[in-house]
Amino acid sequence: MRPVNRRPCSACPPGLTSPSEALASGLAIEKLALWKPLYALGGRPLPPENLARHYDRMIAAGRRGDVIEFFMRRSWGSHPRSSPTRAQQSWRDQETLAHTFVYDPILLGDGSLPVERAAAVTAPTLVIEGGASFPFMRGTARALADVIPDARPRTLYDQEHNVDPAVLAPVLMEFFVT
């Protein structure tokens, strides 16, 4: 069993858990790029208030598969037919990452779009999403970019949830170098 790291943002100074907290703290950040912000839009239900603790308890009890199933049911509203079953290798692969699922509620809070915090971001920001991602993952880049004063959304149309680094790298290079 792995301990849960409460600082998912390794590039952030101690005491700050996310890039948005770093920006809100007044640190001098010249540019910011965000991949696939997972805020709840369009009537998607917000996660339970104690979701991080709920995930922690399941991990501590050795119920890694339950974390994955809970996430899928919460995200899609039901278990989609296309999702892997627990007997498949892809499910077991996801179970190895179950301890990281706690990062979403830590970083995203209640899951609602942080309009006030985003409006305070002054750094030029690129908000990127995959156009082939699951439906509940699309649209948040534009919504977030709409409230950050110097932001632009970018959709990588052939990319899914797990973006190809060879596709993402040139987009980031263009943004950070120009």
Same domain, 117 and 175: yes
110, 129, 162: which is the final residue of a domain? 110
Same domain, 120 and 176: yes
Q: What is the mean pLDDT of residues 70-93?
A: 72
Same domain, 126 and 164: yes
Per the structure, the complete domain to which residue 73 belongs is given by 47-110
Does residue 5 fall inside a structural domain?
A: no
73, 89, 110: which is the final residue of a domain? 110
Does residue 57 fall inside a structural domain?
A: yes
Identify the band that residue 59 occupies on the pLDDT scale cut at 50, 70 and 90: very high
Same domain, 102 and 141: no
State residue 1's pLDDT score.
31
Same domain, 92 and 144: no
Q: Tens digit of pLDDT for each residue in 152-174?
A: 999 999 998 889 999 999 999 99
CATH code for the domain in which residue 156 is found: 3.40.50.1820
d(C-alpha 151, C-alpha 84), whole Å: 36
Selection from 41-50, 66-75, 125-134, 145-154 with the highest mean pLDDT: 145-154
Prediction pTM value: 0.73
Same domain, 72 and 132: no
Q: DSSP code of 48?
A: P
Q: What is the mean pLDDT of residues 26-52?
A: 81
State residue 22's pLDDT score.
59
Same domain, 161 and 128: yes
State residue 5's pLDDT score.
40
Whether the predicted pLDDT of 4 surpasses 50:
no
Same domain, 54 and 99: yes
Does residue 122 fall inside a structural domain?
A: yes
Higher pLDDT residue, 11 or 62? 62
State residue 173's pLDDT score.
96
Does residue 7 fall inside a structural domain?
A: no
Same domain, 106 and 118: no
Higher pLDDT residue, 27 or 49? 49
Same domain, 34 and 60: no
d(C-alpha 160, C-alpha 138), whole Å: 10
Higher pLDDT residue, 30 or 135? 30
Q: Tens digit of pLDDT for each residue in 117-134?
A: 889 888 999 999 999 887
Does residue 124 fall inside a structural domain?
A: yes
Does residue 101 fall inside a structural domain?
A: yes
Does residue 64 fall inside a structural domain?
A: yes
Does residue 24 fall inside a structural domain?
A: no
94, 110, 126: which is the final residue of a domain? 110
Cβ contacts of 137 within 8 Å, gap of 6 or more: 36, 38, 129, 130, 161
Strand (E) positions, 36-174? 125-130, 151-156
State residue 48's pLDDT score.
79
Helix (H), strand (E), coil (C) string for the chain: CCCCCCCCCCCCCCCCCCHHHHHHCCCCCCCEEEECCCCCCCCCCCCCCCHHHHHHHHHHCCCHHHHHHHHHHHHHCCCCCCCCCCCCHHHHHHHHCHHHHHHHHHHHCCCCCCHHHHHCCCCCEEEEEECCCCHHHCCHHHHHHHHCCCEEEEEECCCCCCCCHHHHHHHHHHHHHC
Whether the predicted pLDDT of 108 surpasses 50:
yes
d(C-alpha 33, C-alpha 136), whole Å: 20
